[in-house]
């Protein structure tokens, strides 16, 4: 007997007790959950459902538990039921029930636990999305492991899972990355706000070799502004390829690689901002354009367009949210890194500004 099966059996016994008047409980009954006791001496499984429902039944938790225990002892596969503490129900299964579970596991093998409970449900799962200016590190690998495991669990339950990687190939960090490649190509010190490491020199040398092999000018012979664009175009692709290769070696592959740059090139960012303007969710102050996110539960308003006319990083997040939502997944899951925990409030606020319910994506 699995814990899920035991929980369902307890729920059935509880419902029968309500139906025959043993318990007087109005409204919907909660889902019954069982868990391992802290000490195995107390039994195989335990549930606190008596403490959950005693007040609604107008009873003391232990009295409620005593009555329910009588019914639980009648469940096939249950060897004994004891009431403990303020009203816990400790349950021991018979050896036959445990053996039957082992038989089921061995019979189903790798398919044990598989279900179609989420069949027809599409989940867009975004994870890793590591810094695009350097090799993937242990932090990214951790999220690759967690994300890939979650994707497998969702798929095992019948969901159609779309694994997505968001590549942040736009903005200041890419400018600093390409400037670092340019500096190393000329043997200059890396800028203070740039990136160091042997990988920068390796990528710079590869960019030069690729350009010459393609019959293009050696980037080092070009003016710095033109050369930096060459290092940007080729260098970002090389860095992205290395990240993909590392994740593949880690056995974490993706269905969709979404590039932030495409949101700017397609006009999606401008369209998203205009939609927020139509919603009345934007305000101009201090020569900048702000999302009035405090009106939607955030702790402060967020800049969308800076006073110098540049779009803030959050502007692309807004467009990306709309793009994902419009693709039609039933659920979008964002796995944020530990250093992005502060994004939760603003993401929910942005979703509400579009008229969605609590960031669920439902209109």
- Mean pLDDT across the chain: 92
325 C-beta neighbours (distance < 10 Å), count: 17
Residue 182 in any domain: the answer is no
Q: Is the pLDDT of residue 361 over 60?
A: no
Distances in Å between the Cα of 18 and the Cα atoms of 38, 43, 54, 76, 277 are 30, 26, 12, 20, 54
Say how far residue 146 (Cα) sits from the centre of its chain: 9
Q: Return the pLDDT at 362.
A: 47
Alpha carbon distance 69, 338 (integer Å): 44
Residue 91 in any domain: the answer is yes
Q: Is the pLDDT of residue 102 over 70?
A: yes
- In terms of residues, how long is the chain? 363
Pairing of strands 256-259, 160-167: parallel
78 band by pLDDT with thresholds 50, 70 and 90? very high
**What percentage of the chain reaches a pLDDT higher than 90?**
77
Residue 56 in any domain: the answer is yes
341 band by pLDDT with thresholds 50, 70 and 90? confident
340 band by pLDDT with thresholds 50, 70 and 90? confident
Give the model confidence (pLDDT) of 173-187 as tens digits: 999 999 999 999 999
Residue range 324-343: mean pLDDT, rounded: 86
Residue 248 in any domain: the answer is no
Would you give the DSSP letter of residue 267?
T
Residue 67 in any domain: the answer is yes
Alpha carbon distance 135, 142 (integer Å): 14
Residue 83 in any domain: the answer is yes
Residue 78 has φ and ψ, to the nearest 5°, of: -90, 125
Range of the domain at 106: 3-111
Residue range 54-74: mean pLDDT, rounded: 95
Using left for φ > 0, alpha for ψ between -120 and 50, and beta otherwise, residue 58 falls in left
Report the CATH number that the domain containing residue 21 is assigned in CATH. Answer: 3.30.1360.70
Q: Give the number of domains in the chain.
A: 1
Residue 90 in any domain: the answer is yes
Give the model confidence (pLDDT) of 113-137 as tens digits: 888 888 999 999 999 988 889 998 8
């Amino acid at each position: 007997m699995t814990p899920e099966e035991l929980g369902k059996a307890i729920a059935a016994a509880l419902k029968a007790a309500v139906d025959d008047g043993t318990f007087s409980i109005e409204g919907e009954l909660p889902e019954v959950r069982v868990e391992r006791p802290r000490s195995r001496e107390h039994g195989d499984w335990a549930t606190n459902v008596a403490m959950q429902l005693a007040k609604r039944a107008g009873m003391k938790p232990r009295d409620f538990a005593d009555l329910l225990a009588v019914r639980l002892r009648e469940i096939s596969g249950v060897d004994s039921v004891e009431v403990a503490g303020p009203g816990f129900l400790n349950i021991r299964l018979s050896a036959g029930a445990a053996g039957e579970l082992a038989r089921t596991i061995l019979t189903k093998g790798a398919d044990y636990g598989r279900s179609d409970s989420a069949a027809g449900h599409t989940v867009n799962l975004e994870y890793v999305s590591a810094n695009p200016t350097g090799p993937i590190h242990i932090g990214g690998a951790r999220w690759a492991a967690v994300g890939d495991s979650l994707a497998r669990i969702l798929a095992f339950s019948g969901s159609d899972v779309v694994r997505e990687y968001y590549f942040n190939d736009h903005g200041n960090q890419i400018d600093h990355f390409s400037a670092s490649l340019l500096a190393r190509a000329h043997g200059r010190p890396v800028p203070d706000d740039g990136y160091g490491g042997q990988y920068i020199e390796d990528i710079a040398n590869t960019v030069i070799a690729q350009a010459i092999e393609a019959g293009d000018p050696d980037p080092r012979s070009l003016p710095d502004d033109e050369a930096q664009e060459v290092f940007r175009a080729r260098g970002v692709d090389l860095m992205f390829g290395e990240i993909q290769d590392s994740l593949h070696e880690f056995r974490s592959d993706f269905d969709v690689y979404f590039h932030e740059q495409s949101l700017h090139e397609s006009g999606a960012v401008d369209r998203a901002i205009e939609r927020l303007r139509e919603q009345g969710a934007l305000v101009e102050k201090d020569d900048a354009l702000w999302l009035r996110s405090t009106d939607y539960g955030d702790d402060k308003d967020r800049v969308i367009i800076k006073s110098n006319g540049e779009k803030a990083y959050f502007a692309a997040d807004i467009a990306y949210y709309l793009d994902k939502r419009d693709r039609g997944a039933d659920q979008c899951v964002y796995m944020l890194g530990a250093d992005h925990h502060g994004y939760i409030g603003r993401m929910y606020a942005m979703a509400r500004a579009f008229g969605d319910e609590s960031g669920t994506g439902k209109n």
